[in-house]
Amino acid sequence: MTIRVLHVASELYPLLKTGGLADVTAALPAALIEQGADARVLLPGFTSVAAGLADLRPIARLSRSFGAPEASLELGRLPGSGVPVYMIRADALYARPGSPYLDAEQVPYGDNAQRFALLGWAAAQLAQHADPDWAPRIVHAHDWHAGLAPAYLRAAARERAQATQAAHPSSPLYDPRTDSLRARTVFTIHNLAYQGIFPAQQFDMLGLPADYFDMHGVEFYGQLSFLKAGLYFADKITTVSPTYAREIQTVAQGCGLEALLKGRAHDLVGILNGVDYAIWNPAHDDAIAAPYSAGHMSGKLRCKTALQARLNLAQRHDAPMFGVVSRLTEQKGLDLLLGALPEIVSRGGQLAVLGTGDASLEQGFARAARQHPDAVAVELGFDETLAHAIVAGADVMVVPSRFEPCGLTQLYALAYGALPLVHRVGGLADTVADASLENLADGLATGFVFERFEPDALAAAIRRAFALHARSHDWRETRARGMQQDFGWAASAQRYMALYRELA
């Protein structure tokens, strides 16, 4: 039997992307289809989504609109992959310029609870045949924006059971584990730090049963948490690397939810994100200055030269080029890198930074670029083409995150022969092998890993990168090994398929 899976999310590459979530929601459904699943996606009708989907057609009016004059479901497809995509048309909630989450002052929209409650509610409607031609057996919700989908589905199943009980008092009491009619739910944590927390008084607007506002439900320290709703009501919880699945069960990284996660440890699994090598492959990347591969590396140097020219850095092919493509936040460890910057510059290295985020970090990196114009370049904002150019032109990609659920940058870096320099945490720990003497001797090294989240530990890893770069044979061997790693989606999709089958 073909398993029907609905992915529920707020972003989908290339229609809308603010981070790695969009890359996952684009690649995973396509990989599942290759494994034989019937996978579709549900998105809010943000302006770029409505403009980018092909062949949109109306499917159903939605009976609830959470404050919008009207809301409806439309079905189209993602150009390129052809993945079917449902879109919620509710222009009063979604048709706004700029960020999907923040207003012009970079403040979260005051009606975000309504905007994303509609997303979860619409997912539950699809699971109850809002589209008469298709209904999912599995609803797979991603991050807090989709966190209410499992809650709405559980509430609908309970209501159905109560009606049955009222009509047939002798029927057994409702048990969600044995409800064969209910679509099963998977909730994926892409980043536990973003929880979708709203004031308690917004709960009544959701239309959930009153007893769901409880510590055994959606209540979180007196407020309402969409993320906790997903964690509590989903049948299975996944996160995007095995190490992160363990880390979030600790006080240090549990963000206040560690007890709930520990209690559900038997339902929690870490499945590593993959890379879409159709997009991230230096041999076929139109966004970079020259193609190259592990067997033909001359294009890599041309990419580095082009990057130096693009960023007005000194044209020095022997200077190790360190790259950063990231949100400029403390979570990403960029404060630590700013402190270690003299270690790169004083040794003759260069640094290219692309990102946006905390004002203090933006100003700190911009100041460093003014002080060292030949060695440090900073572009504030996000530019997908420049992101590819930096990964292709860099010798080392720096990902010094405080915590990192999976991380995709280090996986792109491996594919492009830019050795990742990472903090041993989350998915970074699962994907990069340190260039220690033992790992070099055993043919295992693929990058540089530092253990303690401290300036001297990062500085020591930077020094080790310079030392390996000076040993050209070892450098080339390590780089080739990194490029041969396979983090494609096929293996991860197989693990998700096994999870779906277990539920279905």
- The series of mean pLDDT values per 10 residues for the chain, 504 residues long, is 95 91 93 97 97 97 94 96 96 94 91 98 97 97 98 91 74 59 92 96 96 96 98 97 96 96 97 92 97 96 98 96 95 95 97 95 97 97 94 98 94 98 97 96 97 96 98 97 96 96 93
The answer to whether residues 420 and 446 touch, using CB atoms and an 8 Å cutoff, is: yes
For position 389, what pLDDT does the model report? Answer: 98
For residue 398, which of 348, 442, 443, 335 has the smallest C-alpha distance? 335
CB atoms within 10 A of CB 26: 24
Distance (Å, whole) CA 280 – CA 292:
12
- Domain ranges for the chain, please list them: 4-274+489-503, 298-483
Distance (Å, whole) CA 504 – CA 60:
26
For position 276, what pLDDT does the model report? Answer: 87
Whole-Å CA distances, 220 to 88, 121, 232: 28, 20, 11
For position 446, what pLDDT does the model report? Answer: 98
CA 308, chain centre distance (Å): 29
Total number of residues shown for the chain: 504
- Do the first three CATH levels of 4-274+489-503 and 298-483 match, i.e. the same topology? yes
- Per CATH, which fold does 4-274+489-503 belong to? Rossmann fold (3.40.50)
The answer to whether residues 422 and 400 touch, using CB atoms and an 8 Å cutoff, is: yes
The dihedral of CA 491, 492, 494, 495: what is its sign?
A: positive
Distance (Å, whole) CA 415 – CA 399:
15
The hierarchical CATH code for the domain 298-483 is: 3.40.50.2000
Distance (Å, whole) CA 440 – CA 433:
10
Q: Strand pairing of 448-450 and 419-423?
A: parallel
The dihedral region occupied by 188, where left means phi > 0, alpha psi between -120 and 50, and beta the remainder, is beta
For position 174, what pLDDT does the model report? Answer: 52
Question: Which residues of 318-400 form beta strands (DSSP E)?
Answer: 321-325, 350-355, 376-380, 396-399
23's tokens = 């890359």
For position 106, what pLDDT does the model report? Answer: 85
Distance (Å, whole) CA 276 – CA 27:
6
Q: Strand pairing of 54-61 and 138-142?
A: unpaired
For position 123, what pLDDT does the model report? Answer: 98
Q: Strand pairing of 38-44 and 184-189?
A: unpaired
119's tokens = 């997303």
Buried b (16+ CB within 10 A) or exposed e, 76-87: bbbeeeebbbbb
The answer to whether residues 349 and 319 touch, using CB atoms and an 8 Å cutoff, is: yes
3-state secondary structure of 98: coil
Query: What is residue 290's DSSP assignment?
Result: S
Distance (Å, whole) CA 415 – CA 483:
5
